[in-house]
Structure 1
Amino acid sequence: MRKTTRSLFAIGCAVAALGAAGCGTTSENTGQAQPQDQSAHCGGPDRQYTIGMSQANLAEPYRVRMDEDIRKAAAEVPQFEVEFADAAKDNSKQVTDVENFLTKQVDLLMISPNEAAPLTDVVTKAYNRGVPVILLDRKIEGDAYTTYIGADNVAIGRQAGEHFARTLLPEGGKILEIQGLSGSTPAKERADGFRRGIQGSGIEIVATADGEWERSVAQEKADALLKSHPDVRAVYAHNDPMAEGAFLAAQAAGRDDLMFVGIDGLPIPSGGIKAVEAGRLDATNLYPTGGEEAVAAAKALLIDCTEVPKTQTLPTELITKDNAAAVYARLNEG
């Protein structure tokens, strides 16, 4: 009778597998977030915890700094050990990285997705398995995560647009836009926000290109766009490395008259704030990495047994030559 029961169960699993990834794990594979009790993740201060951090890539200085900020903050929490993985801009590799973290049974997942759609299923799987998920900088589709930490990219884009409209090109003019990786949520949001900021200003975006968040790619794209549009007056780039790439392309073309605005404002010698101080960029817009805040959220969830908000919006500010030195000094205090 027991063999018959087990056989019937196995048959039931095989049939169920046609509509789900596995028998007994249907909730993991529905594609929808299952309700979670944040307090269920907490083990208190007397346990050790392993955190998996899945980074989209380490080609961007911003992401290198994010990992450094996480590493530094985690070093202050004796109970934490953080393992890092670099997806190298490869969605499939990042899916595998997250799967590997799940196999290792990490206590919490941090992830900055390369692109939203390709990472949604595996992040949802982790969340529905009961693993707390902290999204950094970039989002997934849906709400299968514990908390999202990042600045308001629409607001940042609008801030950049308003600076163009009020200060750089108050009488209007033609500009180029070097966008971030297509499919990543900040690229769309920074583009949308910028258009709101320049609305009704007489500023015209005559061409856009996907710079993939990288300086070398942006330099190549900007070189082609400047040849096609010799009458542009400025470049708006979705991050500082791409703005610097466009600056290099303009220098090679003998275009010393152009203006450049980026986003990130990393407080490092090679970052956007110093580029503003040096005059290569006319402005940047601060975009904190959220690394310190991510570790604080992990501590709240795993050690302190307190809840964290679904969204944690980090502050931003416009950085120009007038305040660049002061902002740089402030961000490097301590």
Structure 2
Amino acid sequence: MRKTTKSVLAVACALAAFTAAGCGTTSENSGQVKQQNPLAKCKGPGGHYTIGMSQANLAEPYRVRMDDDIRQAAQRVPQFDVQFSDAAKDNSKQISDVENFITKQVDLLMISPNEAAPLTDVVRQAYNKGIPVIVLDRKVDGDAYTTFIGADNTDIGRRAGEYFKTAVLPQGGKIVQIKGLSGSTPAAEREKGFEQGIAGSGIQVVATADGEWERSVAQQKMDAMLKAHPDIQAVYSQNDPMAEGAYLAAQAAGKRDLKITGIDGLPIPSGGIKAVEDGRLQATFVYPTGGAEAVAAAKSLLVDCKPVPKTQTLGTERVTRDNAVEVYDRLNHR
């Protein structure tokens, strides 16, 4: 009888673990995803809401602009108080930042993950505690979030590849690629899309380096690639700061005819659109920050009590010297 009782208890404990009800296991850390009511935090226009925004880093101008866009849009929603954190490219720091927001019991979490896999669990924890989660730009694994807002990085990479095939090197040639941080989803998707875009052409990617999304790192990597491959004709950079780093390295090496393209197209004086207008870059592709859209989604969930789509895909456009002035002015007067 004693053995039977122990067996029953063991089975009950195992079942409880699966339902996150006992045995030292919770659904927040078991890998399961709770069914969330995304409108549970909504108190209507009369409520006051604290939002935590966890940024991957502030070393990239793109991420500074994202925070600025969130800050500016949130100023138009009097019910919102947005608190920002900077992970400084450190996964452990970003995990701690999100845990801090969970402890503070924020009404909504926004996050642009440094890398997908390391941030997945803590984002799931927030989601499983009933906190609506808006994931921006870079993804996490699985679907433990309320909505993802970002451009289609595979499509952007494909468009960049097609541009190389039709306008940059229509006769084919040798190029190098400067990727973003390994482990971040845009880096993998922009590479995959680019390969699709140049398929069937005579374009050969002879080397690829990880520039970590930063100009100084890309400049060092580009210098090394130019020494190893002095006959390259163009550079595909996965963002504009790295493209600028490649430009500086090329100038130092006397390769002033090298054709360089980037991605981001920030409408700021130091951004990619101005770099195209000034002739440093051949082209760039606009990559919206999603900041304003994130605040709009938060308002819908918390103030208006309306659901939002699981995925919100933002548009892009190619910027060359032909349209750089017009695009810059238009994006600054939305």
Q: Structure 1 length as normaliser, TM-score?
A: 0.93
How far does residue 22 in structure 1 lie from its aligned partner after superposition? Answer: 7.2
Shift in CA distance, 235/81, structure 1 to aligned 2, threshold 3 Å: same
Shift in CA distance, 63/21, structure 1 to aligned 2, threshold 3 Å: farther
1:93 is aligned to 93
Distance (Å, rounded) in 2 between the aligned partners of 1:54 and 1:137: 12
Shift in CA distance, 25/105, structure 1 to aligned 2, threshold 3 Å: farther
| Runs of 5+ unmatched residues, structure 1 | 1-8
SS of 1:39's equivalent? coil
How far does residue 154 in structure 1 lie from its aligned partner after superposition? Answer: 0.2
Q: Counterparts of 1:93-112 in structure 2 under 5 Å?
A: 93-112=93-112
2:72 is aligned to 72
1:5 is aligned to none
* Aligned amino acid, residue 201 of structure 1: S
| Runs of 5+ unmatched residues, structure 2 | 1-8
Distance (Å, rounded) in 1 between the aligned partners of 2:33 and 2:180: 28
How far does residue 248 in structure 1 lie from its aligned partner after superposition? Answer: 0.3
Deviations 1:256-314 (A, max 9, x none): 11000000000000000000000000000000000000000000000100010000000
1:176 is aligned to 176
How far does residue 20 in structure 1 lie from its aligned partner after superposition? Answer: 7.1
Distance (Å, rounded) in 2 between the aligned partners of 1:155 and 1:67: 24
How far does residue 39 in structure 1 lie from its aligned partner after superposition? Answer: 2.3
Residue 161 of structure 1 contacts residue 196 of structure 1 at CA under 8 Å; is this kept in 2? yes
Residue 261 of structure 1 contacts residue 282 of structure 1 at CA under 8 Å; is this kept in 2? yes
Residue 20 of structure 1 contacts residue 29 of structure 1 at CA under 8 Å; is this kept in 2? no
2:217 is aligned to 217
Distance (Å, rounded) in 2 between the aligned partners of 1:221 and 1:66: 27
* Aligned amino acid, residue 204 of structure 1: Q
Residue 73 of structure 1 contacts residue 291 of structure 1 at CA under 8 Å; is this kept in 2? yes
2:116 is aligned to 116
* Aligned amino acid, residue 303 of structure 1: V
SS of 1:236's equivalent? strand
2:269 is aligned to 269
Residue 87 of structure 1 contacts residue 93 of structure 1 at CA under 8 Å; is this kept in 2? yes
Q: Counterparts of 1:185-334 in structure 2 under 5 Å?
A: 185-333=185-333
2:5 is aligned to none
Distance (Å, rounded) in 2 between the aligned partners of 1:140 and 1:62: 19
Shift in CA distance, 22/179, structure 1 to aligned 2, threshold 3 Å: farther
Residue 32 of structure 1 contacts residue 142 of structure 1 at CA under 8 Å; is this kept in 2? no
Shift in CA distance, 232/63, structure 1 to aligned 2, threshold 3 Å: same
* Aligned amino acid, residue 221 of structure 2: K
* Aligned amino acid, residue 292 of structure 1: A
Distance (Å, rounded) in 2 between the aligned partners of 1:202 and 1:126: 48
Distance (Å, rounded) in 2 between the aligned partners of 1:108 and 1:232: 48
Distance (Å, rounded) in 2 between the aligned partners of 1:116 and 1:307: 25
Shift in CA distance, 22/178, structure 1 to aligned 2, threshold 3 Å: farther
Shift in CA distance, 131/23, structure 1 to aligned 2, threshold 3 Å: farther
Deviations 1:119-146 (A, max 9, x none): 0000001001110000000000100000
Distance (Å, rounded) in 2 between the aligned partners of 1:241 and 1:294: 24
Aligned length: 324
Distance (Å, rounded) in 2 between the aligned partners of 1:225 and 1:186: 22
How far does residue 327 in structure 1 lie from its aligned partner after superposition? Answer: 0.2
Moved over 4 A (4+): 19-25
How far does residue 24 in structure 1 lie from its aligned partner after superposition? Answer: 7.7
Shift in CA distance, 56/35, structure 1 to aligned 2, threshold 3 Å: same
* Aligned amino acid, residue 115 of structure 2: E
Percent identical among aligned pairs is 74
* Aligned amino acid, residue 84 of structure 1: F
Distance (Å, rounded) in 1 between the aligned partners of 2:64 and 2:180: 17
Deviations 1:57-97 (A, max 9, x none): 00000000000000000000000000000000000000000
In terms of mean alpha carbon deviation, does 67-76 or 21-30 score higher? 21-30
How far does residue 25 in structure 1 lie from its aligned partner after superposition? Answer: 6.4
SS of 2:39's equivalent? helix
Residue 21 of structure 1 contacts residue 29 of structure 1 at CA under 8 Å; is this kept in 2? no
How far does residue 163 in structure 1 lie from its aligned partner after superposition? Answer: 0.4
SS of 2:178's equivalent? strand
Distance (Å, rounded) in 2 between the aligned partners of 1:193 and 1:160: 8
1:3 is aligned to none
* Aligned amino acid, residue 212 of structure 1: E
SS of 1:40's equivalent? coil
* Aligned amino acid, residue 35 of structure 1: Q
How far does residue 185 in structure 1 lie from its aligned partner after superposition? Answer: 0.2
